Chain A
Amino acid sequence: MATEGKGNVAEGETEERASRLAGETGVSRETEERASRPEGETGVSRETEERASRPAGESDVTASPAGEHLTLEDRTGLLRAMLSMRGIEERAMMLYRQGKVPGSFYDGFGQEAVSAGPAWAMHGHDRLCILHRDLAAHLIRGVAPARIMAQYMGRAGGITGGRDGNVHFGERRVGCVGMVSMLPDMMLVAAGLAMAFKLRAEQRAALTWFGDGSTSRGDFHEAMNWAGVQKLPVIFILENNQYAYSTPTTSQFAVDPVERAAAYGFPGVSVDGNDVEATFEVTRQARERAIAGEGPTLIEAVTMRMHGHAAHDDMKYVPAEQIEEWRRKDPIDRQVKRLEPLGVDVVALRSGVKAEIDAAVAEALAMAMPDGETATERLFADEPALLEDAESRWSGF
């Protein structure tokens, strides 16, 4: 156990990672390097080794980092989820500017692959604790866009019925727990979900996302340590989008937190967070480890927050060239380039998504605002109301 995580830390890697950020193949250098080491010492599964031993596949733009694990239908589903997320958030931002979304608005523009890939890799009976720039995860679990729009607008028909705002929600009927603003509190809740699976000897896993800023708080340590000690079936996804509000990662940590995983006794893997098939694949492998009883995995999805922290933030503190550099790595463009040569009708996909969002906005706008009289009701539960299963999306289940 103590040797499992050691593969992550190699001299000079930190600088390499910082300069590399998003690799071309999607599978990170760490993973490739680790795959060349004896298995068992590294905790990375055989599939990675096999793939790493193949040519990089640069000549074939349609090649997937997930190899045979994704069907064309899966790959299209991933694109569709990302298109929906972007479309919903763009529309919601407009509604915010029109005064129809109260409070502020937080989006995950450019980070769609960070939530879509991992959510796709999880079984319907697995559990997710979803962060605020991870809308695709909700969509993949089956939450209707109209209820999401209503949620943003504080309507009675939103997931929280107007009791919490923007992306602070989790639909318990599809196995999701909504986030709180204190980050990364949900790492501990996810560890607790995994603890329940372990206590009941169930082959299920829990997954949670958290940001680069979160790694500075104590709950990060407590969750990593607890999960390592108890070898829990939990997947931690560090969404490294370079900024916590205005604070760059250089002011947040001295060493990339993915390297800390080794200190807790489990693997840490860095992945191109703008490649949806790579985030799927690395999560699929982590889930296999989890349900095989091999314990947690820390995944660092390297990405970029392309918009401000929230709608009010003009992000002047981010150099324009950094944004430009990342714009060229857009996760949706990338997936489109992969799938168009395979005959996927992306134009039809886009118009289908647009029609769905148009209908969702209309439906949400027709929903009532919650009755002020109900604000003091339903503070306590009379009966248990627990998490329920969603439908699995990945063809491999």
Chain B
Amino acid sequence: MATMTYLQAISDAMREEMRADERVFVMGEDIGVFGGAFKVTDGFIDEFGAERVMDTPLAESAIVGTAIGAAVEGLRPIAEMQFSDFVSCGFDQLVNVAGKMFYRQGLSVNITVRLPSGGGFSGGPFHSQNPEAWFMHAPGLKVVAPSTAEDAKGLLIKAIRDPNPVIFMEHKHLYRRVKGEVPEGSYETEFKARVARAGSDLVVIAYGAMVHTALEATADLDGASVEVLDLRSLVPMDTEAILASVRKCSKVVIVDEANQMCAAGAQVAALIAEHAWEDLDGPVVRVATPDVPIPFSPTLEQAVLPQVDDVREAVRELLDF
């Protein structure tokens, strides 16, 4: 075991896979010589060369489209969007070409698309988004979102090896803020939820950066026993784990950093309403970003992104219900 940041764990996953499998290569804007906007591929070009650490033109549709072509020919590209926001320019290739390819014609598309996502540092409306729900709604794409360093590595390795297109949501705000013990070598983390903290009075369901917000908000809450369920995978969604936590705790708060309309949490809420109605001891409560672009100024940004106090307040209210 080694202590790594979330960012180092992501780098480590790609390095391990590139060393072990020559089919794996990385491509994206400024990822080679510069090492990536966030330095996730720092030093890769020296170890693997410019062909496997490919600096691409500034063209997201082309990054995704050519990755698809390389994948159906047997390679395993890992494409980086410089910021998750720019995936909107590659949306068509992901949704219409990659997502539907296997269903339509039995041709598997083994691509991993890394999306540095999320806000919290004045990135403004074009560098702070959480676009995972766009892709949850597009059949044929898997969507995962780690919250810890250990899971970042294991989920990314699993994604790289998965014969299907996988959208890998890596939260920028966790890159250097989150550290943890990470196993050496290669390992896969299943696309399933994990109980981040066990509890019995209420469960907070979250993923990505909001797992940490949830843990902090409920660390010491008047002695209440609060479970935190880390979804880790949004597609496939771990229905069993969600319903198990709900049945155990009977009260649910769902947290999304994404805009609330049709967010991952909305799907979780629908799932609970449909399958666990009789197990509930109160309304399903959601905490999410209101449906506005993510504003730039710190005071505005903090006003919209779910904060520790927002989650704490929501949990308190529901505990008192």
Residues of chain A whose beta carbon lies under 8 Å from any beta carbon of chain B: 127, 159-160, 163-164, 168-172, 177-178, 180-182, 185-197, 199, 206, 218-219, 222-223, 225-226, 229, 378-387
- Measured CB to CB, the closest approach of chain B to A110, in angstroms, equals 27
Pick from B59, B100, B101: contact of A222, CB below 8 A.
B59
A222-B62, A223-B65 known, 18 other contacts, Cβ within 8 Å: A163-B103, A172-B72, A178-B104, A185-B92, A189-B68, A190-B69, A192-B69, A193-B73, A199-B51, A199-B70, A199-B75, A218-B61, A219-B93, A226-B66, A381-B164, A382-B163, A386-B107, A387-B73
A196 touches B74 (CB 8 A): yes
Whole-angstrom distance between the alpha carbons of A224 and B73 in the complex?
20
Whole-angstrom distance between the alpha carbons of A90 and B61 in the complex?
37
Residues of B within 8 A of A199 (CB): 25, 51-52, 70, 75
Residues of A within 8 A of B97 (CB): 180, 182, 185-186, 189
Whole-angstrom distance between the alpha carbons of A127 and B101 in the complex?
16
Whole-angstrom distance between the alpha carbons of A7 and B105 in the complex?
40
A197 touches B73 (CB 8 A): yes
Whole-angstrom distance between the alpha carbons of A169 and B103 in the complex?
11
Whole-angstrom distance between the alpha carbons of A106 and B92 in the complex?
23
Size of the chain B interface, CB-CB below 8 angstroms:
39
A178 touches B105 (CB 8 A): yes
B67 CB–A CB distance under 8 Å: yes
Q: A226-B62, A229-B57, A379-B139 are in contact. Are A385 and B107 (CB under 8 A)?
A: yes
Q: Once A and B bind, how many residue pairs between them come within 8 Å at the CB atom?
A: 147
A225 touches B59 (CB 8 A): yes
B239 CB–A CB distance under 8 Å: no
* Chain A to chain B contacts (Cβ below 8 Å), 10 pairs: A170-B107, A186-B97, A189-B97, A192-B66, A195-B70, A379-B139, A381-B163, A383-B163, A385-B163, A386-B73
B102 CB–A CB distance under 8 Å: yes
A222 touches B140 (CB 8 A): no
Residues of B within 8 A of A218 (CB): 61
B142 CB–A CB distance under 8 Å: yes
By beta carbon, the residue of chain B nearest A208 is B69
Whole-angstrom distance between the alpha carbons of A206 and B69 in the complex?
10
Report the 3 A-B pairs with minimum CB-CB distance, sorted nearest first. A192-B69, A188-B65, A192-B66
B105 touches A170 (CB 8 A): yes
A177 touches B107 (CB 8 A): yes
A222 touches B104 (CB 8 A): no
- Measured CB to CB, the closest approach of chain B to A155, in angstroms, equals 15
Which B residues, 75 to 120, have Cβ-Cβ distances below 8 Å to chain A? 75, 92-93, 96-97, 100-108, 110
A191 touches B107 (CB 8 A): no
B107 touches A185 (CB 8 A): no
By beta carbon, the residue of chain A nearest B64 is A188
Pick from A127, A169, A187: contact of B73, CB below 8 A.
A127
B102 touches A185 (CB 8 A): no
Residues of B within 8 A of A381 (CB): 102, 108, 163-164
Pick from A172, A195, A378, A384: contact of B66, CB below 8 A.
A195
A386 touches B69 (CB 8 A): no
Whole-angstrom distance between the alpha carbons of A178 and B75 in the complex?
19
By beta carbon, the residue of chain A nearest B110 is A384
